[in-house]
Chain A
Amino acid sequence: GENVEQHPSTLSVQEGDSAVIKCTYSDSASNYFPWYKQELGKGPQLIIDIRSNVGEKKDQRIAVTLNKTAKHFSLHITETQPEDSAVYFCAASTIGGSQGNLIFGKGTKLSVKP
């Protein structure tokens, strides 16, 4: 089955710097890769996603890149702000079998220091 590895597990940056979180997946059939942000006491919130027919997607300060050949995808946050501090999860979706099978990474705790 699908396996998603996420690195690093913790990341600390200065306000204004960029942050990059990387994920790798094992199932070449996966074609949907969302990123979620989880703040303390809240459920994960979808912040951006990418499908396998594109290589990059941007939304203001957030971008995601996908390399299907290498089976890895990354989240890039530019001009980080203290409110970006949270745990970020990547996921990959396997097609076929059970519907909705999002396989998640273990998460990255991002701390943005003012």
Chain B
Amino acid sequence: ETGVTQTPRHLVMGMTNKKSLKCEQHLGHNAMYWYKQSAKKPLELMFVYSLEERVENNSVPSRFSPECPNSSHLFLHLHTLQPEDSALYLCASSQAFSRVPYEQYFGPGTRLTVT
């Protein structure tokens, strides 16, 4: 495997279900990100982990819960989602940085549909 991988690629879940999205990066990076991509909207940054420390976006509802067990893996745990949460969820990775931003590399995304 190379680059950034995400599983599953497609997920349909009911509003009462609990599911998890998985992301793995094979680039030797130490920062990982979750983004939400909805139609007609810009990509929205949800969470950032840098050196396994979380930097949180305050506007993300608590029904989304990230987990970063090590620098190569990132999870997004989902529970009691709403239909408006249906979107493409993208994972990205980069080198962690202090004051100069590094390039972010994206995975293919998980297409989530909440019914």
Which A positions have Cβ atoms within 8 angstroms of B?
4, 31-32, 34, 36, 41-46, 49, 89, 93, 95, 98-107
Q: For B6, B43, B101, which residue has the most chain A Cβ atoms within 10 angstroms?
A: B101
A4's partner among B41, B42, B101 (CB-CB below 8 A) is B42
A39 CB to closest chain B CB (Å) equals 10
CB neighbours (8 Å) of A4 from chain B are: 42
B32 nearest in chain A by CB position: A100
Name, among A32, A43, A49, the residue most crowded by chain B CB atoms within 10 Å (CB to CB): A43
Number of residue pairs spanning A and B whose beta carbons lie under 8 angstroms apart: 63
**Which residues of A have CB within 8 Å of B109?**
42-43
Given contacts A93-B101, A100-B101, 18 further A-B contacts (CB under 8 A): A31-B101, A32-B100, A42-B108, A42-B109, A43-B4, A43-B90, A43-B107, A46-B105, A89-B43, A98-B55, A100-B31, A100-B33, A100-B45, A100-B48, A102-B43, A102-B104, A105-B42, A106-B41
Q: For the complex formed, measure the closest distance between the CB of B22 and the CB atoms of chain A, giving whole angstroms.
A: 15
Interface size on B, residues (CB 8 A): 28
> Which residue of chain B is the closest to A32 with respect to CB atoms?
B101
A104 to B104, CA, bound (A): 13
A4-B42, A98-B55, A100-B55 are known contacts. Are A44 and B50 too (CB-CB below 8 A)?
Answer: no
Do B50 and A100 touch (CB < 8 A)?
A: yes
Is B75 in contact with chain A by the CB < 8 A criterion?
A: no
